[in-house]
């Protein structure tokens, strides 16, 4: 039944005024939230040299703390367990760079002569390029392209590699954070006065540590398998420096999309330059594309996504945003930071739902 209750004119005006006031407050809150987001994004972009290495150190330190806590269960002192974890990571990175550095320097020294060699190898496509030129002339459009020049090397290296200051800030923050993490976590928990708030903070920190540790372990195993398969592909096709190519694939696979794309370019160039014909040289990148496709669409989503409850769209949006903001390091940190955000949201949402169900 319809409500035909007659209200006084003053009461109706008061209700309408309250409705307009609530709408104005909603608009103001939306505008302030947008301005706050712009300020935060601008700060992250402007202070990238300071915030990015520290954020990377905190994320990686939290990942390694899970391994350190596992060693502490066997009565290994915290400082020794942290030292062992840092030494293992540093030794692995050093070994990978030792495998990569010598072949990389050799190929870099040959860059001036690689351009003519690449043109000679691609003569078999002259007929196809001629047909393409005729098609452009017939359609009246110009879509011509040329081989990349050497000038792209320096900007690419600057984009991929951090400065010495950023690297030093990352290492110092990582070591100090890993050594003082138990005390820091205790201080964060004791910062809350109520017992329930302390328990919730402890649960959040434990969940972040556990999930980030599992993520690092899982992704590392997957990347090692990708590196081994890439080395086997290189050996099968007859490419030089198969171990270096596999190590490069393993380390770059930590950077989603960008890393595999770089390895695909490397395999294509090395394959074309070293194989008897360009067709044979394209076998290695074709096989690697199959490995990356299986890993990216089936293996990693089924293992990482199922174990960590990550939404594919959320992962892609986070990857695109942080890559745009911080480059390759942002791409590496996108999934871990998304995991942290989801854990905090899950715990806060469950607490809010519990308060609504059992109000005081």
Quote the distance between the C-alpha of residue 155 and its chain's center. 21
Q: Residue 230 above 90 pLDDT?
A: yes
In this structure, is residue 94 part of a structural domain?
yes
- Which candidate, 62, 48, 122, places its Cα nearest to that of 275? 122
| Helix axis angle, 195-237 to 48-72, nearest 10° | 100
Is the pLDDT reported for residue 275 higher than 50? yes
Is the pLDDT assigned to residue 37 strictly greater than 80?
Answer: yes
pLDDT at 150: 46
Q: How confident is the model at residue 68 (pLDDT cuts 50, 70, 90)?
A: confident
Tell me if 59 sits within 8 A of 333, measured CB to CB.
yes
Number of structural domains in the chain? 1
Q: Which residue intervals of the chain are DSSP H helices?
A: 9-46, 48-72, 78-109, 111-121, 126-139, 153-160, 164-190, 195-237, 242-252, 258-274, 278-281, 283-294, 300, 306-308, 312-326, 328-357
In a domain, 161, yes or no: no
Dihedral sign of CA atoms 117, 119, 122, 126 in order: negative
Report for 100-104, 132-136, 171-175, 295-299: range of highest mean pLDDT: 171-175
Residue 148 belongs to a domain: no
Label residues 131-169 b or e (16+ Cβ within 10 Å = b). Answer: eeeeeeeeeeeeeeeeeeeeeeeeeeeeeeebeeebeeb
Whole-number Å distance between alpha carbons of 319 and 257: 9
122 versus 231: the higher-pLDDT residue is 231
- Short-list 114, 126, 154, CA closest to 266: 114
Question: In this structure, is residue 43 part of a structural domain?
Answer: no
Q: Which has more confidence, 244 or 350?
A: 244
Residue 154 lies inside a defined structural domain of this protein = no
Residue 242 scores a pLDDT above 70 = yes
**Chain centre to alpha carbon of residue 25:** 38
Q: What is the CA radius of gyration of the chain?
A: 27
Q: What is the dihedral of CA 328, 152, 43, 31, to 10 degrees?
A: -90
Q: Is the pLDDT of residue 49 over 90?
A: no
Q: Give the integer Cα–Cα distance in Å for 330 and 247.
A: 21
Q: Which residues of 236-248 are buried (b: 16+ CB within 10 A; e: fewer)?
A: ebebebbebbbbb
Mean pLDDT of 64-89: 87
The answer as to whether 37 is a domain residue is no
Candidates 288, 79, 248; CA nearest to 179 is: 79
- pLDDT over 70 (residue 253): yes
Question: Is the residue at 215 inside a domain?
Answer: yes
Q: What are phi and psi of 323, to 5 degrees?
A: -70, -40
Is residue 162 domain-resident? no
Task: Please report the pLDDT score of residue 152 as a whole number.
Answer: 45
Separation of CA 238 from chain center: 32
| Cα–Cα distance measured from residue 313 to residue 316, given in angstroms and rounded to the nearest whole number | 5
| pLDDT range class, residue 147, cuts 50, 70, 90 | very low
pTM for the model: 0.74
Contact 143, 23 (CB under 8 A): no
Confidence of residue 235 (pLDDT cuts 50, 70, 90): very high
Q: Bigger pLDDT: 299 or 317?
A: 317
User: Please, which pLDDT band fits residue 359 given cuts at 50, 70 and 90?
Assistant: low
Provide the domain limits for residue 285.
50-122+176-357
């Amino acid at each position: 039944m319809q409500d035909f209750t007659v209200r006084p004119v003053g009461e109706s005006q008061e209700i309408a005024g309250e409705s307009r006031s609530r709408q104005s407050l909603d608009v103001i809150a939306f505008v302030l939230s947008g301005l706050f987001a712009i300020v935060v994004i601008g700060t992250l972009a402007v202070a990238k040299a300071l915030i990015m290495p520290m954020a990377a150190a905190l994320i990686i330190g939290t990942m390694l703390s899970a391994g350190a806590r596992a060693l502490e269960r066997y009565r290994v002192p915290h400082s020794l367990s942290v030292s062992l974890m840092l030494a293992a990571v540093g030794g692995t990175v050093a070994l990978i760079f030792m495998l990569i550095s010598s072949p990389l320097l050799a190929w870099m020294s040959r860059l001036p002569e690689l351009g003519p060699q690449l043109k000679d190898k691609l003569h078999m496509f002259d007929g196809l390029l001629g047909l393409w030129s005729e098609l452009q002339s017939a359609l009246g459009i110009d879509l011509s392209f040329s081989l990349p020049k050497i000038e792209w090397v320096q900007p690419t290296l600057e984009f991929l590699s951090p400065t010495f200051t950023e690297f030093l800030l990352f290492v110092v923050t990582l070591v100090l954070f890993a050594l003082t993490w138990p005390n820091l976590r205790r201080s964060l928990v004791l910062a809350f006065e109520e017992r329930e708030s302390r328990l919730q903070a402890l649960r959040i920190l434990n969940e972040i540590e556990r999930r980030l540790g599992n993520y690092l372990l899982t992704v590392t195993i997957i990347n090692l398998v990708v590196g081994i398969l890439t080395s086997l592909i290189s050996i099968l096709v007859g490419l030089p420096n198969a171990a270096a190519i596999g190590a490069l694939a393993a380390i770059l696979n930590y950077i989603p999309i960008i890393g595999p794309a770089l390895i695909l370019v490397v395999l294509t160039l090395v394959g074309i330059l070293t194989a008897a014909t360009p067709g044979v040289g394209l076998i290695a990148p074709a096989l690697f594309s199959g490995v990356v496709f299986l890993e990216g669409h089936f293996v990693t989503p089924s293992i990482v996504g199922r174990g960590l409850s990550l939404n594919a769209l959320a992962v892609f949006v986070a990857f695109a945003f942080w890559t745009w903001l911080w480059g390759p390091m942002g791409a590496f940190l996108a999934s871990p930071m998304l995991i942290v955000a989801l854990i905090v949201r899950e715990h806060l949402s469950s607490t809010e739902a519990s308060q609504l169900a059992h109000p005081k």
